Amino acid sequence: MRAVLDYCSGGTERQVKAGTVVITEGGTSGHLYVLMQGKLEVLKGEMVVATVTEPGAVLGEMSVLLGQPHTATVRASSDVLIYEFEDAASLLEQQPGMALLIAKMLAQRLNAANTYLADLKRQYADHGSHLAMVGEVLQSMINLPPQEVSPGSDRQSDPRM
């Protein structure tokens, strides 16, 4: 994702202290962030689900592209330098090269998730447990109509599935 760094102009470079929340889950900002240096953690609720350290990593893209609230909180776990674009939707319209890089990144994430789920399906297909449902979940995700998607968990399910 270092190629994204070539597009870091027209925004604001920000120094962020460790412990500072950059993105709040459920909030909306329309902003896109690019990590320049440092370490960020991605949280769902209170659980850290990812650590981001690669310069050029993009954050906030799902909210911008889907026009929905942020799906996770992003917090600096060290002092970081980020590049912030306030009007990310306009940026992506004006910079198709950056939009393509983000699309590739999202496709890589989706491929990794699909590969993982397919492996789970293979491993647990004959176990008769709730994990045997992975195939049904994959099929229903593929066939979702193109509308606002709000994926849930066993505490909050998507009524279309």
Of residues 58, 55, 60, 61, the one with CA closest to residue 2:
55
Q: Which residues contact 125 (CB under 8 A, 6 or more apart)?
A: 132, 135
- CA torsion 48-156-60-116 (nearest 10°) is 70
Print pLDDT tens along the chain (161 aa): 789 999 898 899 999 999 999 999 999 999 999 999 999 999 999 999 999 999 999 999 999 999 999 999 999 999 999 999 999 999 999 999 999 999 999 999 889 888 888 887 787 777 666 666 666 666 676 666 665 555 555 555 455 44
Would you state the pLDDT for residue 124? Answer: 73
Instruction: Tell me the two tokens of residue 40.
Output: 């960020």
Give 2-94's CATH code, choosing from 2.130.10.10, 3.30.70.660, 3.40.228.10, 2.60.120.10. 2.60.120.10
Amino acid identity of residue 110, one-letter, is: L
- Strand partners of residue 35: 82
Ranges of each domain in the chain? 2-94, 110-143
Q: Which residues contact 87 (CB under 8 A, 6 or more apart)?
A: 30
Asked if residues 48 and 41 have their Cβ atoms less than 8 Å apart, the reply is: yes
Would you state the pLDDT for residue 160? Answer: 44
Would you state the pLDDT for residue 139? Answer: 66
Q: Which residues contact 48 (CB under 8 A, 6 or more apart)?
A: 41, 42
Instruction: Tell me the two tokens of residue 71.
Output: 């799906």
Would you state the pLDDT for residue 129? Answer: 66
Instruction: Please state the separation of Cα 139 from the chain's center in Å.
Output: 22
pTM: 0.78
Would you state the pLDDT for residue 10? Answer: 87
- Strand partners of residue 83: 13, 34
- Give the span between the Cα atoms of 81 and 34, in whole angstroms: 9
Amino acid identity of residue 109, one-letter, is: R
Would you state the pLDDT for residue 90? Answer: 93
